[in-house]
Amino acid sequence: MLPTSKMDPAIAAENVTFAYDDQPVVKDVSLTVEAGDFLGLIGPNGSGKTTLLKILLGLQTPDTGTVELFGTDATSFDEGTRLGYVSQQSSEADTTMPISVREVVTMGRYAHAGLSPLTTDDHRIVDDVLEQVGIADLADRQISSLSGGQKQRTYIARALASEADLLALDEPTVGVDAESRDAFYDLLHELNETGITIVLIEHDIGVVTEHADTIACLNRELYEHCGTERFLETDALERAFSSARAARSTSAASGD
Amino acid sequence: MDVDTFRSRRGLTAAAVGLPAAVIATAAFVYLAFPPLFDAFWGTTCGAIGSWLVCSTFLQHGFTTGVLVGIAAPLVGAYVVNRQMALIGEALAHTAFGGVAIGLVVGASVEWLNYPLVFALVAAVLAALGLQYLAVTTDAYADVPLAIILTGGFAVGVAVISYGEGVAFGREIESYLFGNILFVPFENVQLMVGLTILVVGMVALTHKQLLFITFDREAARLARIDVWFYDTLLIVVTALVVVAAMQILGAILVAAMLVVPVAAAMQLTSSFNHGLVLSIVFGEIAVLAGIFSSYYLDIATGPAIVLVAIAIYVFAILNNR
């Protein structure tokens, strides 16, 4: 394992391109996320945000281009303890499998434990995040019996329990009520202040501009990536969304 | 970072030393310590109860194997069932039957190769690796590859048996097809002890990883857990358990022991770990009640075990309403 220096950015993507079969999803995106950044990733529906995030995390291999996580190639990056992820779609098993909220949140500690048994520290951290996310009273409930918002909070708690250096969140608060949503974003803000790098996909642009330091606007290609204040002065959002509208109306016109 | 490197190196060393050590210790236990223990236990039990049920060597072998199957099968089944792979045991058992058939024919002409169960193990493990390969290339444990392997393995078995018409395997074949508690030689009891130790040890060591890939593969990949490795481990261990349980339940019914106790336990719990323990409890109840009822009702043991397990499942569902 090569030692990573403090200077390495959390994520460095260069000329990343990805297509499902012949359908291009991400086109020539280069993007650097410095350690400690809070990046908001925005773009219209179907703009490749989720795919790009998975590529950045090394869950998918780009067709061309390279991604580095903390200075190491993303697909061979093996420090699972440094990554946390709340995906947009929860797993299929959470509707059928008997597994308690506490057991799911505890999975956040698995990368730390490896083959060794969980320690009392691991259990304490799980208790703490259950409290922090406000689901301590649900800890023994089966996850399939929870509402969508409660489930989502469980996955957020799992990502927090992993005590990662990089937290990636893909529309984490879908189905979560407004109050706990605000509390969650305040918590993200606090975590970011302590030096944790955050990449957030969120359709609510108000939330993104309020919390993120930098914003990347994507619609297959990267339209803009800069500080939030500067971003608000550009027309990247307008361009990205209008190109999406144009693409939709072309495909509608061609009867596709 | 440095601590992590140290920890993973230490882990590797532990695996390099621990794995062969565990295998040697298991083998030593099975061959040296287990036979006297077995005799001591059943000698005492027979002396205390004095019934044919516990004094016959056949039933002593059967009970011991059955109790071990009742531990190992639901233990592995808990992960397999929750991954929607319930029929994988059935497919592997049918391939194992093909292996048994080849083993019987080979063993009939080559004396020192007369271990059909070893052939069954090899066939089932090969089928498991084949399924794993198909799962990776076709991206799912779809039921089509399962159906092909299931029928293919069975076809090989029947074809091989029908070829050597001069050799009569009738009773043996039947015992592998339908299971026969009176037909478990002591070597197979020893094999079952060894397999159970390996399975329990493997699950104790990798429970977290297996649970993670069962529940959420993407999150497991993100945590940099080697999903492919643990998939393969789980499916190969399933193959081992299936072959071991086949002696009692038979190739056709063996999947029940992987699936039914787990399905019953899942009805009654909201925690995976509780469900795991409860599955084993139900597995044991099914085995013991099945053996007793097969004796008192004079029916075959394999079906009796399966029917008791299904009765537990039905009770669990009714209780859950």
| Mean pLDDT value of segment B224-250 | 89
Mean pLDDT of the region B276-300: 93
What pTM, to 2 d.p., does this model score? 0.87
The whole-angstrom separation of Cα B111 and Cα B268 is: 50
A197: helix, strand or coil: strand
Number of A:B CB contacts under 8 A? 98
The kind and range of the H/E element at B106 are: helix B88-109
Mean of pLDDT values over A121-142: 92
Q: Which residues contact A199 (CB under 8 A, 6 or more apart)?
A: A11, A33, A39, A41, A53, A56, A166, A167, A168, A169
> B168, B105 in Cβ contact below 8 A?
no
Mapped onto helix, strand or coil, the DSSP state of residue A7 is coil
Which of A97, A114, A142 minimises the CB distance to B82? A97
Mean pLDDT of the region A184-190: 86
- Write the pLDDT tens digit of every residue in A1-11: 445 455 688 99
Q: Name the β-bridge partners of A221.
A: A219
pLDDT value of residue B112: 82
pLDDT tens string B8-29: 555 566 667 777 888 888 888 8
User: CA A105 to CA B91: how far, in whole Å?
Assistant: 34
**Whole-number Cα distances in Å, A5 to A12, A67, A111, B46, B303:** 14, 17, 22, 69, 64
Residue B321 has pLDDT above 70, yes or no: no
Query: pLDDT (tens digit, 9 = 90+) per residue, B165-215?
Result: 656 677 778 888 888 887 788 888 998 899 899 999 999 999 999 999 999
Instruction: Report, in this order, helix, strand and coil percent for chain A, each rounded to 5.
Output: 45, 25, 35
pLDDT at B197: 92
> Which stretch of A127-131, A132-136, B289-293 has the lowest confidence by average pLDDT?
A132-136
Tell if the CB–CB gap between A114 and B223 is shorter than 8 Å: no
Residue contact A140–B215, C-beta within 8 A: no
**Rounded CA separation B82/A161 (Å):** 24
Q: In degrees rounded to 5, what are phi and psi of residue A215?
A: -130, 135
Q: Do B218 and A162 touch (CB under 8 A)?
A: no
Of B1, B7, B219, the CB nearest to A3: B1
Q: Which residue has the tokens 């109790």?
A: B67
Q: Which helix (H) or strand (E) holds A166?
A: strand A166-170
In 3D space, the residue among B3, B21, B23 whose CA is nearest the CA of residue B13 turns out to be B21
Contact across the interface for A80 and B223, Cβ inside 8 Å: yes
- Smallest Cβ distance to B275: which of A80, A87, A98? A98
Paired residues of A84 in beta bridges: A167
Interface contact flag, B225 A80, Cβ < 8 Å: yes
Beta A38-42 vs A197-201: how paired, if at all?
parallel
Q: Which residue of A has its CA nearest to B14?
A: A115
- Residue B224 tokens read as 């940099």
Would you mind telling me the total number of residues written for chain A in this entry? 256
pLDDT digit string, tens, across residues A195-248: 899 999 988 888 888 888 888 888 887 777 777 777 777 777 777 777 766 665
* Cα torsion through A147, A150, A151, A157, rounded to 10: 180
Closest residue of chain A to B221, computed from CA coordinates: A59
Q: Which CATH architecture has domain A11-90+167-253?
A: 3-Layer(aba) Sandwich (3.40)
CB A152 within 8 A of CB A176: yes
As a whole number of Å, the CA-based R_g of chain B is 20
Highest mean pLDDT among A7-11, A173-177, B284-288, B291-295: B284-288
Amino acid B4: pLDDT: 45
In Å, what is the CA distance from B58 to each residue of A158, B65, B117, B301?
A: 51, 11, 18, 13
Q: What is the ipTM of this complex?
A: 0.86
User: Residue B98 corresponds to which tokens in the numbers above?
Assistant: 């093909």
- Can you say whether the dihedral through the CA atoms of A212, A234, A25, A174 is positive or negative? positive
Give A165→chain B minimum CA distance, Å. 12
Q: Among all residues of chain A, which has the CA nearest to that of B11?
A: A115
Q: Copy the structure tokens of residue B235.
A: 């499916």
Best residue in A11, A97, A155 to probe B by mutation, most B CBs within 10 Å? Answer: A97
Q: Most A CBs within 10 Å: which of B213, B224, B229, B273, as the mutation test of the A interface?
A: B224
- Of all residues in chain A, the one with the smallest CA distance to B217 is A91
Kindly determine whether residue A79 and residue B209, on different chains, have CB atoms separated by under 8 Å. Answer: no
Q: Which residues of B touch A1 (CB under 8 A)?
A: 5, 8
A interface test, pick of B8, B206, B208 with most A CB neighbours within 10 Å? B208
Per the CB < 8 Å rule, is A103 touching B271?
A: yes
Please count the CA atoms within 13 angstroms of the CA of B251 that sit on its side-chain side: 28
Measure the CA–CA gap between B200 and A226, rounded to whole angstroms: 54
- pLDDT by residue (tens digit) across B239-255? 989 988 888 888 888 88
Mean pLDDT of chain B: 86
**In whole angstroms, what is the distance from residue A220 CA to residue A216 CA?**
12
Of A81-90, B2-11, B98-107, which range is least confident?
B2-11
Residue B283 CB neighbours (<10 A): 30
Percent of chain A surpassing pLDDT 90: 25
CB nearest to B273's CB, from A1, A103, A110? A103
Structural domains of chain B ordered from first start: 24-45+54-254 (1.10.3470.10)
Q: Cα(B243)–Cα(B100) distance, rounded to whole angstroms? A: 10
User: Which pair of tokens denotes residue B6?
Assistant: 């140290």
Q: Which of B206, B214, B221 sits opposite A115 (nearest CB)?
A: B206
* CA closest to B271 among chain A residues: A99
Q: Which residues of A touch B (CB under 8 A)?
A: 1, 3-4, 57, 59, 77-81, 83-85, 87, 91, 93-94, 96-100, 103-104, 107, 110-111, 113-115, 118, 140-142, 145, 158, 162
Angstroms from B116 CA to nearest CA on chain A:
35
Collect all residues of chain A within an 8 Å Cβ-Cβ radius of residue B215: 91, 93-94, 97, 99, 104, 107
> Which tops the pLDDT comparison, B226 or A148?
B226
Spatial separation of the C-alpha atoms in residues B84 and B75, rounded to whole Å: 15
pLDDT at A256: 40
pLDDT of residue B2: 42
Helix and strand tally (H, E) in chain B? 14, 0
The rounded distance, in Å, linking the Cα atoms of B274 and B268 is: 9
Chain B neighbors of A94, CB-CB under 8 A: 215-216
At residue B107, the pLDDT reads 85
pLDDT at residue B238, rounded to an integer: 92
Residue A19 zone, left/alpha/beta (φ > 0; ψ -120 to 50; rest): beta
**Stretch (H or E) spanning B62:** helix B57-82
Residue holding tokens 């059928």? A96
Q: Judge contact between A143 and A151, C-beta under 8 A.
A: yes
What is the residue-averaged pLDDT of chain A? 84
Domain boundaries, chain A: 11-90+167-253
Enumerate the residues of chain B whose CB falls inside 8 A of the CB of residue A96: 82
Q: B134-167 as b/e, with b when 16 or more CB fall inside 10 Å?
A: bbeeeeebeeebbeebbebbbebbeebbeeeeee
| Residue reference for tokens 């809070």 | A38
Q: Do B269 and A98 touch (CB under 8 A)?
A: yes
B320 vs B307 pLDDT, higher one: B307
- Tokens 């929750």 — which residue? B82
- Are A142 and B271 in contact (CB < 8 Å)? yes
Q: Please, which residues have CB within 8 angstroms of residue A194's CB and are 6 or more apart in sequence?
A: none
Nearest to B223 among A1, A103, A110 (CB): A110
Q: A115 and B205 in contact by Cβ < 8 A?
A: yes
Whether residue A85 and residue B217 make contact (CB cut-off 8 A), yes or no, is: no
What separation, in Å, do the N-terminal and C-terminal C-alpha atoms of chain A show?
49
Residue A92 clears pLDDT 80, i.e. is over it:
no
Do residue B215 and residue A99 have CB atoms under 8 angstroms apart?
Answer: yes
- CA–CA distance, B33 with A205 (Å, rounded to integer): 69
Q: Quick check: helix, strand or coil at residue A117?
A: coil
B221 to A111: CB separation less than 8 angstroms, yes or no: no
Query: Coil, strand or helix: which one is A12?
Result: strand
- Mean pLDDT, to the nearest integer, of A44-55? 88
Task: Write down the pLDDT at residue B260.
Answer: 96
Q: State how far the alpha carbon of A234 is from the alpha carbons of A200, A229, B319, in Å.
A: 20, 9, 63
Q: State the residue for tokens 């058992």.
A: B93
CA dihedral A15, A20, A25, A28 (to 10 degrees): 10
